[in-house]
Structure 1
């Protein structure tokens, strides 16, 4: 019998597939329910059955949410903070990962472990000293302070992924560069960095998604409504809906928030998988 290269089908595979199908169906159902509710009027939402279809395609609800509910301001703040924090965090992680992965010194594994400890420290332990530090440097309730916090928040994972990816590159690259007279900085910028495409793509996408969806640190550090990001803005809209029954604006804001994230992940999923699995080739 010719080998197919596939693992034999087991009974538990069927149970696993059924579970994944049910999970996907529940997620898709919630997404479609929010989309349908965002096209209703407030009166229609409160007086009809939850799963009843909207009477019409009221795309004007999104325009109203963008302008009157300040979703547009929240969206621009999220873009500014997420993009700047992602670029800064990935750049610092790349420069930090290079000596850990490619330069032999006695404590490089210890330095990597110190960075990895950041993945194990819960946010409940850090938010009070972090709040006091940001307040002491005068960056409380500012977009710059939030950018710096988000950039450092993703450093441990970024460094871990990039170190694993850099270790897969052959050592002969640095040797050839040294023969040509290139120093460590030039070697990194001219030779190593161009080869980090999949790794940089994966950490960039993951960092952006984390920054886009982050809520708690933004809630602690940002107080002015005009500086809030989308998760904070949706929280404010949720509170307003509880007392003012403006649910349609909340659901429209949820759709505006989730669609960019879903599109980024759908088109970039292959790069995330390549970058995260590349480090498993070589220890």
Structure 2
């Protein structure tokens, strides 16, 4: 649809797809289940407020989450679903003062998160020069997803996102393939769902690699070149990205960066931010790719 079409659905911008905790009712601290592990210090059922949630919906240990055993909280990203549900779907009515909304709101939140994550990927796909042949389909998928985010709460609570997500996933897969194909002598390392747990990839040339759904847990990626590598769904938990180049990495998310290690020398896309727990650069990036 053109910008002048009065029936066009307003599309959420990238800025609104980032978490804004100040405008959320602490939904991730209530709606989600926590399982005691290295990531969470407690067990908590979905619908039960975390013991650290303050009266103003802020985290009482926000600056100490990692030291207090809640590193999983610093990794999680709602893609802006929290403020969308809080301020738009429920028009600023919080689950404490409007208690009748609580159960439904906690059902709506994870649905909205899935939709907002999809909006993030579709928005990026529409910026890929090699995917122009897919733009019409991508725009339709984006607009449909946007419409779904604006459904009334009762419809959102019962929405099955799977079928819609699967259709969009096929477009995203093709968009990634087209963009990676533009990389001369692209890397053949990895592969969809590749097991690269603990892999020694320091200084590796991974330009244009397919790392969709790859397991990169604790991988050594210091100084690696990940430009135009497709990383949608890749697991970067404890991967060392110090000095790595992630500019132009396809479908990279803030949650993936939050789960990894890195430093001031790590190069990031403009749309993402350097996690506060990353360390200052203590060594020169690896060269000689």
TM (norm. structure 1) is 0.25
Question: Which has the larger share of helix?
Answer: 1
Structure with the larger RCO, 1 or 2 (CA within 8 Å, 6+ apart): 1
TM (norm. structure 2) is 0.25
Structure whose alpha-carbon radius of gyration is higher:
1
